[in-house]
Homo-oligomer: A and B are copies of this chain.
């Protein structure tokens, strides 16, 4: 019987405690095969998209400037969680600057996302936002934000609006472990719990905020205690396993619809690239070893883990696998081509959109 593949965390990443302890022992065969195939495909597409961004940035000829924060390694979180939401019917989500995947997971046009990253007129934010400020209003994506912790209080408001109107919707808010050290995070958690708004707080705990590990920045590395101090429901989930992520979160989201309340998820994960494009191999060496990165890539890659499980369960064939990878590469290239073929924003655009 195929089981959700999980591997022991590399010892070097102290925070990767491999989930909540109540490791899911999922029978993949009993799950919705089509859905997970789609999730798998989405993860592969996101990975290829991100890797092409990295490449395009280094080429320097596509219009990508400034900061570029890539999601590779964390795909199961965006895909599994946004996949548990009904973004076409009023569920909302909001993220931080590592945000391409949120849009892609919700179904945004890859071309429009890439064009935004490249600053083109056809970008989802008309080229005004760039990589850090992707959004998609029609899919409930309220955008990526560049100020650490800045999106968290806004999520409170999105969730408040749901409660205000008495809808059975939820709002997910994605942020990093670094956000937890911003004061506004705390004000938000307290108020969210006080008002019982349907906010799903999603901590992407990848062990580091830029070059600073959790241990060097959180007096109490047991992050659960901070959340529990607001009497908020807390779950630790292995963010590398799409089956665990999705099954657990889908159940939580459904329960939030009937029992509106804030819920906090700590997703254990890892980022493969440097913090941003400026965080090179050299600067990364000040805070993490190549071995640590390789360990994660080898033993806990969300795509590999999914692939393995789906193939063992005979849901995915080798042929399909190849097709998906090939298509993903092509899709990313097509997105870049769409962007390359797109015009720069017209000069008039400088002055529009400041006010309604």
Which residues from 213 to 248 on chain A have a C-beta closer than 8 Å to any C-beta of chain B? 217-220, 222, 225-226, 228-232
Q: Judge if A185 is at the interface, Cβ distance under 8 Å.
A: yes
- Report the separation of the CA atoms of residues A191 and B181 in the bound assembly, to the nearest whole angstrom: 9
Q: How far is the CA of A128 from the CA of B226 in the complex (A)?
A: 40
Contact between B183 and A187, CB atoms less than 8 A apart: yes
* Docked complex Cα distance between A193 and B184 (Å): 19
CB pair A182–B193 under 8 Å, yes or no, is no
Report yes or no: B181 in contact with A190, Cβ–Cβ below 8 A.
yes
8 Å CB contact of A186 from B186, B217, B225, B228? B186
CA of A159 to CA of B237 in the docked complex: distance in angstroms? 38
Is there contact, CB below 8 Å, between A229 and B226? yes
A229 to B186, CA, bound (A): 12
Q: Which residues of B contact A218 (CB under 8 A)?
A: 190, 194
Bound-state CA distance A229–B194 (Å) is 18
A14 CB → nearest B CB, Å:
15
How distant is the Cα of A2 from the Cα of B232 in the complex, in angstroms?
45
* Chain B residue contacts of A217, Cβ below 8 A: 194
Contact: B181 with A183, CB < 8 Å? no
Give the CA-CA distance A183 to B194 in the complex, in Å. 16
Residues of B within 8 A of A193 (CB): 219-220
Q: Report Cα–Cα, A185/B186, bound state, in Å.
A: 9
Neighbouring B residues of A182 by C-beta, 8 Å: 183, 187
Residue from A183, A184, A189, A192 with most neighbouring chain B CB atoms (10 Å): A183
Q: Which of A181, A189, A219, A228 has the most CB of B within 10 A?
A: A219
Partner of A219, one of B181, B183, B232: B232
B residues within 8 A CB of A231? 219-220, 222
A218→B230 CA distance, assembly (Å)? 8
Distance to closest chain B CB from A175 (angstroms)? 14
- In angstroms, Cα B230 to Cα A217, docked, is 11
Most chain B C-beta atoms within 10 Å of own C-beta, residue among A186, A192, A218 = A186
In the bound complex, what is the Cα–Cα distance between A190 and B219 (angstroms)?
Answer: 5
CB distance from A178 to the nearest CB of B (A): 12
Contact of A230 among B183, B219, B228, B230 (CB under 8 A): B219
Give the distance in Å from the alpha carbon of A191 to the alpha carbon of B218 in the complex: 8
Q: Could you show 23 A-B contacts with beta carbons less than 8 Å apart?
A: A181-B187, A181-B190, A182-B183, A182-B187, A183-B183, A183-B184, A183-B185, A183-B187, A189-B219, A190-B219, A192-B219, A193-B220, A194-B218, A194-B219, A219-B230, A219-B231, A220-B229, A220-B230, A225-B225, A225-B229, A226-B229, A226-B230, A229-B229
